[in-house]
Structure 1
Amino acid sequence: MQKTALVPYAHLPRAHHDRHVLTSTVDVLGVAHWLLTERAPQPAGDLPPFDALVVSVHPGGNVELTELSAVRARWPRLDRLPHGGFVVAAPRARRYEDANQVQVFDALGREMSSFSVGDAIEHLLVDEDGYIWVGHFYENPAGIRRWSATGRLAWTSDGARIPGLFDCYALNVSGTTAWACPYTDFPLVEIHPDRPDRAVRVWANRVRGAKAVAVHRDRVVFYGGYGEERDRLAHGELTETSVEPTDAGVLTLPDGPAPGRRRVVGRASRIYVQAEPFTAWGVFDIGG
Structure 2
Amino acid sequence: MTPDRLAPYARLPRAYRDLHLLHSTVDAFGRAHWLLRTPAETPGPYDAVVVTVDDGASYATGLSSVSARHPRIDALPDGGFVVADARSGTGDEQVQVFDALGRPSWTFRVGDAIEHLLTDESGDLWIGYFDEGVFGDDPLSAAGARRWSATGEALWAYSPPPGGDWIADCYALNVDRRVAWVYPYTAYAGFPLVEVRHDPPLHLRTTRVEGASGVAVAGERALFFGGYRKDRDRLVVASLGESTVDVVTTTRLTRADGTPLDGRRRVVSRGPRIYVQERSGTEWGVLDVGRG
Instruction: State the TM-score bracket (shorter-chain normalisation).
Output: over 0.9
Alignment partner of 2:230: what SS? Answer: helix
Shift in alpha-carbon separation, 1:102–1:176, aligned structure 2, 3 A: farther
- Between 1:252-261 and 1:48-57, the stretch displaced more is 252-261
Is 1:49 the counterpart of 2:45? The answer is yes
Q: Distance in 1 between matches of 2:261 and 2:100?
A: 36
Q: 1:259 aligns with which of 262, 265, 269?
A: 262
2:138 counterpart residue number: none
2:223 counterpart residue number: 221
Preserved CA contact (<8 Å) 1:25 1:32 = yes
1:282 counterpart residue number: 285
2:156 counterpart residue number: 155
Shift in alpha-carbon separation, 1:26–1:245, aligned structure 2, 3 A: same
Shift in alpha-carbon separation, 1:187–1:159, aligned structure 2, 3 A: closer
Preserved CA contact (<8 Å) 2:216 2:274 = yes
Q: CA deviation at 1:41?
A: 4.4
Alignment partner of 1:139: what SS? Answer: helix
Structure 1 residue identity aligned to 2:252: V
Could you report, residue by residue, the CA deviation over 1:55-74 in whole angstroms, capped at 9, with x for unpaired residues? 00002x11121000000111
Alignment partner of 1:140: what SS? Answer: helix
Structure 1 residue identity aligned to 2:150: A
TM value normalised by structure 2: 0.92
TM value normalised by structure 1: 0.93
Q: Distance in 1 between matches of 2:274 and 2:181?
A: 12
Q: CA deviation at 1:154?
A: 0.5
Alignment partner of 2:132: what SS? Answer: coil
Q: CA deviation at 1:177?
A: 1.5
1:122 counterpart residue number: 115
Q: How does 1:1-288 map onto structure 2 within 5 Å?
A: 1-39=1-39, 41=41, 47-59=43-55, 61-94=56-89, 97-141=90-134, 142-158=143-159, 160=161, 162-184=164-186, 185-193=190-198, 195-196=199-200, 198=201, 200-255=202-257, 256-288=259-291
Alignment partner of 1:158: what SS? Answer: coil
Structure 2 residue identity aligned to 1:250: R
Structure 1 residue identity aligned to 2:45: P
Q: Distance in 2 between matches of 1:168 and 1:2?
A: 30
Could you report, residue by residue, the CA deviation over 1:107-164 in whole angstroms, capped at 9, with x for unpaired residues? 0001111011000101000011100001001112221100011110011113545425
Question: Which ranges of structure 2 fall in alignment gaps of 5 or more residues?
Answer: 135-142
2:137 counterpart residue number: none
Q: Distance in 1 between matches of 2:114 and 2:180?
A: 16
Preserved CA contact (<8 Å) 1:191 1:201 = yes
Q: CA deviation at 1:2?
A: 3.4
Alignment partner of 2:49: what SS? Answer: strand
Runs of 4+ deviating beyond 2 Å = 97-100, 158-164
Could you report, residue by residue, the CA deviation over 1:248-281 in whole angstroms, capped at 9, with x for unpaired residues? 1111122312232110000000000000210000
Q: How many residues align structurally?
A: 278
Q: Distance in 2 between matches of 1:153 and 1:124?
A: 15
Preserved CA contact (<8 Å) 1:69 1:109 = yes
Alignment partner of 2:131: what SS? Answer: coil
Q: CA deviation at 1:98?
A: 4.2
Preserved CA contact (<8 Å) 1:164 1:186 = no
Structure 2 residue identity aligned to 1:68: L
Alignment partner of 2:133: what SS? Answer: coil
Preserved CA contact (<8 Å) 1:163 1:187 = no
Question: Which ranges of structure 1 fall in alignment gaps of 5 or more residues?
Answer: none
